[in-house]
């Protein structure tokens, strides 16, 4: 059994989803850590403390294995901080982790970091502990900056990602697309990049009757509903969805539910989207639901006719998997791992252009054809079976064995390339 140190510096896996800095990464870390602990491995997830009143250590999940815990380390102010301020506390965080581990007398077999800030801390700990470091970036600054004209990322981030990519013992990516981008823009060695898709909790996300889901949410049984789930930021392309909804023919008029966002949503993006809905003449048909508890998300997926993922950039796209697990077809951008998660014209549609018109065309087709929606939805549920978190955990454990023991791994064969 392995002792595993997971570094999630800038956000806790236990943080509520839907906020400015919470999303798929949080789900990934929580689910993977839980699966590893359930398999008998000792897993500590180290994160920056943002609340001085919360316990120093917390279980990864209620009723889960006692071998998995979240350890909160004081670094900088013990409150929420904008991400651009967090690099200055990385050294303090790494020192805090090292002190905590030394006090307990723990020794780890491997470090697994998530996001570039965590990678910076992990490289320091790798040198102190003389253990291998595996990194998963989740998003890449250079790729984000190229995905949309208005996007920009600080040069120190890109420089740090370059160093981490070249020095880590292994890089985990969710798609071959990301593997190629790391090689192209960061000079990373393809031979040290392993592709393991993200997973989905098939026990939580599963089909229920649409009428039941809508009744619990207080939604009409007769309306057509388009659903967006995710952080409220320009890169997620919510403006594309609103533009597409405004172009739908009258017989396909529908309501748009936007799930995500909180008081810290950056740059007034929520206000911008509300104004846009008004300008497009669809304000009365768009509901901004705010952040929703993870356990309630299946109700929204099941209540929707179509889930729309119009992102300019997604390293994978957990939302697509969650919707498909609920038997809801997906219309998504053909970017990153979304092209792995969604089978075009089988479980949904992939759109190669980031503009409202092609999204509107496909949405029109799906909203007007219940038989097609049902066929896609059934195929979607069948498709995601292989993406269960247990498969992801086994694949990641195979990579650990390769790095720690030199044992060849074949556990990724369950995922289609």
Same domain, 400 and 328: no
Q: The whole model's pTM is what?
A: 0.90
Quickly tell me which residue has 């253990």 as its tokens: 131
pLDDT tens string 252-299? 568 999 999 865 555 589 999 999 999 999 999 999 999 898 899 999
Number of Cβ atoms within 10 Å of the Cβ of 79: 9
Token pair recorded at residue 313? 């950039």
Kindly state the percentage of the chain with pLDDT values over 90. Answer: 80
Same domain, 154 and 261: no
Same domain, 168 and 219: no
Position 200 scores a pLDDT of 95
pLDDT tens string 80-131? 898 889 999 999 999 999 999 999 999 999 999 999 999 999 999 999 999 9
Same domain, 63 and 186: yes
CB–CB of 272/238 below 8 Å? no
Same domain, 381 and 400: no
CB–CB of 170/403 below 8 Å? yes
Domain assignment of residue 405, yes or no? yes
pLDDT tens string 388-399? 999 999 999 999
Same domain, 266 and 373: yes
- Average pLDDT estimate for 348-356: 94
Count of structural domains, the chain: 2
In Å, what is the CA distance from 209 to each residue of 294, 349, 382? 19, 23, 17
- Average pLDDT estimate for 68-86: 94
pLDDT tens string 355-382? 999 999 999 999 999 999 999 999 999 9
β-partners of residue 350 are 332
Which of 147, 138, 145 lies closest to 117, judged by CA? Answer: 138
Instruction: State whether residue 3 is helix, strand or coil.
Output: strand
- For the chain, give percent helix, strand, coil, nearest 5: 50, 15, 35
Domain assignment of residue 38, yes or no? yes
Per-residue pLDDT for 60 more than 80?
Answer: yes
Please report, for the domain that includes residue 126, its CATH number.
Answer: 3.40.50.2000
- Average pLDDT estimate for 4-24: 81
For residue 157, what are the domain limits? 3-199+388-414
Confidence bin at 413 (pLDDT 50/70/90): very low
Same domain, 221 and 353: yes
Per-residue pLDDT for 412 more than 80?
Answer: no
More confident call, 63 vs 35: 35
Position 403 scores a pLDDT of 96
Same domain, 304 and 258: yes
Length of the chain: 417
Q: What is the mean pLDDT of the chain?
A: 92
Residues 6 or more apart from 38 whose CB is under 8 A from it?
64, 65, 68
Domain assignment of residue 32, yes or no? yes
Same domain, 50 and 185: yes
Same domain, 97 and 38: yes
Domain assignment of residue 164, yes or no? yes
Domain assignment of residue 59, yes or no? yes
CB–CB of 324/311 below 8 Å? no
Domain assignment of residue 204, yes or no? no
Position 340 scores a pLDDT of 87
Domain assignment of residue 205, yes or no? no
Same domain, 60 and 159: yes
Same domain, 354 and 293: yes
Strands of the 330-333 sheet, one edge to the other: 286-290, 255-259, 225-229, 306-309, 330-333, 348-351
């Amino acid at each position: 059994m392995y002792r595993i140190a997971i570094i999630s510096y800038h956000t806790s896996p236990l943080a509520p989803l839907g906020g400015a800095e919470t999303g798929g990464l949080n789900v990934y870390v929580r689910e993977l850590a839980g699966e590893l602990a359930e398999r008998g491995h000792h897993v500590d997830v180290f994160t920056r403390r943002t609340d001085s009143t919360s316990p120093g250590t917390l279980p990864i999940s209620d009723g889960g294995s006692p071998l998995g815990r979240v350890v909160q380390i004081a670094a900088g102010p013990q409150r929420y901080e904008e991400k651009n301020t967090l690099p200055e506390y990385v050294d303090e965080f790494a020192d805090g982790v090292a002190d905590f581990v030394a006090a307990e007398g723990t020794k780890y077999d491997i470090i697994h970091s998530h996001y570039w800030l965590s990678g910076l801390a992990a490289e320091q700990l790798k040198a102190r502990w003389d253990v291998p470091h595996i990194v998963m970036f989740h998003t890449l600054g250079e790729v984000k900056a190229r995905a949309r004209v208005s996007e920009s990322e600080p040069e120190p981030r890109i420089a740090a990602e370059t160093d981490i990519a070249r020095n880590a013992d292994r890089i985990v990516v969710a798609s071959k697309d990301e593997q190629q981008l790391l090689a192209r823009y960061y000079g990373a060695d393809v031979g040290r990049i392993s592709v393991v898709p993200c997973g989905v909790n098939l026990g939580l996300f599963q089909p229920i009757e649409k009428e039941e889901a809508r009744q619990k949410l207080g939604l009409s049984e007769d309306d057509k509903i388009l659903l967006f789930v995710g952080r409220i930021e320009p890169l997620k392309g919510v403006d594309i969805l609103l533009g597409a909804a405004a172009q739908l023919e009258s017989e396909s008029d529908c309501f748009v539910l936007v799930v995500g966002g909180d008081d810290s949503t950056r740059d007034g993006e929520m206000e911008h989207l509300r104004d846009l809905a008004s300008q497009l003449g669809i304000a009365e048909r768009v509901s901004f639901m705010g952040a929703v508890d993870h356990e309630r998300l299946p109700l929204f997926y099941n209540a929707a006719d179509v889930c729309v993922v119009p992102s300019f950039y997604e390293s994978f796209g957990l939302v697509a998997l969650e919707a498909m697990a609920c038997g809801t077809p997906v219309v998504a951008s053909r970017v990153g791992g979304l092209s792995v998660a969604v089978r075009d014209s089988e479980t949904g549609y992939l759109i190669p252009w980031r503009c409202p018109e092609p999204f509107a065309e496909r949405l029109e087709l799906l909203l007007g054809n219940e038989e097609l929606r049902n066929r896609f939805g059934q195929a979607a549920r069948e498709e995601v079976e292989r993406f269960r978190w247990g498969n992801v955990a086994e694949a990641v454990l195979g990579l650990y064995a390769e790095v720690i023991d030199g044992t060849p791994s074949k556990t990724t064969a369950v995922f289609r390339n």
